[in-house]
Structure formats: C-alpha cells, structure tokens
Amino acid sequence: MSKVVALITMSLDGYITGPNDGPGSGLGVGGERLHNWVFGGTWRYDSSERGQMLPDDRAWFDSASETMGAVIGGRGTYEAAEHWGDRNPWPVPFFIVTHRPEEEPPDHGFEFVGTIAAAAERARAAAGEKDVHVMGGADIIRQFLEAGLVDELTIIVAPLILGDGKRLFDGFTHSMELEQLGARQSRFATFLEYRVI
C-alpha cells in the first residue's frame, strides 16, 4: 500500500541548511556538508568535482528509490536548487507546492500545485502502489506533518553542528508520537526511520 514518506538531512543541532541558503548558494554557508553522504565525502557548489556514495549509503538510497512513485518539494527548495537545471532529477512525477502555481513553466518536468492537500492527492494518484516522498524544505515537511499527511519520517543526521540556518522544526507546535522503525549509521550520517503514530 502506498505511503507518504518525508525524508530530509539535518545537522546534529537541527538545521537543514546553513545560513543564507537560496538560489546561487543552495544549502547555504557550510550547508554542503549536510550532503557529504550523497557524494561520499566533501564537495562544494563551486566545484564540478563530485564523488560517489559509499556502497552502504548507495544500497540504502537505491532501496528507498525503488519504492518511490512520486516526489513533492516546496517552491523554496525548487528555487534554491535552481530548478535542477529545468530537469526533474527523479524518474517519477515531481510536484512543487507553491502559492503561484500559475507560474509553472511549460515542458520542464515539474508540476506546480497550490496546496499541500492538492500535492498529496495528485502525488498519490501518480504514485499508484508506490510511495510518495516529501523531500522538503523544512516548511513543507512541517506542513505535511501538521496536516497528518505523513506516514513515515526519515531524518538523516549529518555529524556536524551548523549553528545557524533553517531548522527543521522551527515553529512546529504539534505534539507527535513516533515509532522507531530502524536506524543505521554510515561514515557520513546516521539514518533514523520512524512511523508517525
């Protein structure tokens, strides 16, 4: 049965970006280090050099990707990623939640939607029996959690303290109980998987 799974990487002190994130600076000052697990080590936006995931991280990522039938992201993430070069980085439908859905560019591989409820409905329909992955940013994940639309939450904790940036749970006012499904550790991150009760 299809699930909605929210996944995001954060620092040990709860930040999902460094300060001054956005177009041209992606994950903000020092934020690249959050995704060292994706590139198998240190990388920078201003360098074209990218490493590869370590084998255990690749196995986890491939397993998670096999169940993915659709992706949801926020407009802020879309802009910070500079529209992924106007190409959907996933082999499944990608829905962008935005207050301005009428600004959707033609033929760019993304579908703009105006609300999280509409995004969830359309993504579930597109995913069929596979899962919907909510990738963030923090505001979109908080909204999905607050609306009771998330079945599972995966937090990938990078071993660093950023000290500033955007926090995953800033402004979150709901009490929520989670059931731990699993935990794994790799060289560059600790992966925590929960069921939302």
> Which pLDDT score, from 0 to 100, does residue 60 have?
95
Q: What is the pTM of this model?
A: 0.94
- Region 179-193: what's the mean pLDDT? 96
Percent of the chain at pLDDT above 90?
83
pLDDT at 44: 83
Buried b (16+ CB within 10 A) or exposed e, 12-40: eebbbbbeebeeebbbbebbbbbbbbbbb
Give mean pLDDT, residues 93-102.
96
Domain tally, the chain? 1
Average pLDDT, rounded, for the chain: 94
Task: Please give the pLDDT value at position 133.
Answer: 98
Burial class (CB in 10 A: 0-12, 13-18, 19+), 92: middle
Statement: residue 134 has pLDDT above 90: yes
Q: What is the C-alpha to C-alpha distance for residues 29 and 62, in angstroms, rounded to an integer?
A: 29
CATH code, 61: 3.40.430.10
Structure confidence by residue, pLDDT tens digits, 6-37: 999 999 999 999 999 988 888 999 999 999 99
The mean per-residue pLDDT over the stretch 165-184 comes to: 94
Residue 1 has pLDDT above 90, yes or no: no
**Looking at residue 135, what is its pLDDT?**
95
Nearest to 119 by CA among 107, 106, 110: 110
Give the model's pLDDT for residue 183: 96
Range(s) of the domain holding residue 29? 4-196
Residue 66: per-residue pLDDT: 95
Average pLDDT over residues 76-95: 93
